[in-house]
Structures are given as C-alpha cells and as structure tokens.
Amino acid sequence: MPIYEYVCKDCQKEFESLRSMSQADAHIACVACGGDNTRRKPSVCYSESSGKALADSSSSSCGSCSGGNCSGCGH
Ligand SMILES: [Zn+2]
C-alpha cells in the first residue's frame, strides 16, 4: 500500500498517510489542525524507462511509490 503525501493549506502542515490507491484523492483531515483544507501532493515518483534494473517489487517500495521505476528515490 503506497504512502501519499498531503499538505494542509491552512497551517501548511505536510503529512503522509498510508492509503490504498483508490483512496489517494479521498478527503483526509489535517493531522495538525484537524482542518479539511488539505490536498494531496503530487507524487515524486515518475514512471520512466531509465533502463535501471529493478529488484522485485516487494523490496522496492520507497514509501511514495508502489514499485516500478522511480527517479525520485533511486528505486
Ligand atoms: Zn492544518
């Protein structure tokens, strides 16, 4: 299950939440102020064919990507 990053527009708090992909854009309350003026941050992972060899997907989870090529974290 991937971790998504969210940011609160009210207090600028950035936090992460472990959610299923289907819930990635679902509403989430700010962990700091409890407000609902939050939005999901764009993933830092991009799917690209860099030619980099990948280990099996079960060990390549880097938090913000769910496997596959990830130029943001080196996975
Ligand atoms: Zn907040």
Distance (Å) from CA 36 to ligand 1 centroid: 8
Distance (Å) from CA 32 to ligand 1 centroid: 5
Distance (Å) from CA 19 to ligand 1 centroid: 19
Cβ atoms of 68 and 52 within 8 Å: the answer is no
d(CA 69, CA 64): 12
Q: Is this model's pTM higher than 0.85 or not?
A: no
**Count of the separate structural domains present in the chain:** 1
Distance (Å) from CA 30 to ligand 1 centroid: 5
Q: pLDDT tens across 23-57, in order?
A: 998 999 999 999 999 999 986 554 455 555 554 44
Say if 66 falls within a structural domain: no
Give me the chain's average pLDDT, please: 76
Domain region containing 29: 3-59
pLDDT for residue 38 = 96
Say if 55 falls within a structural domain: yes
Structure-token match 């980099």, residue found: 52
Distance (Å) from CA 53 to ligand 1 centroid: 39
pLDDT for residue 22 = 92
d(CA 42, CA 39): 9
Say if 31 falls within a structural domain: yes
27 burial type by CB count under 10 A (0-12 exposed, 13-18 middle, 19+ buried): exposed
d(CA 20, CA 22): 5
Q: What is the three-class DSSP state of 8?
A: strand
pLDDT for residue 47 = 47
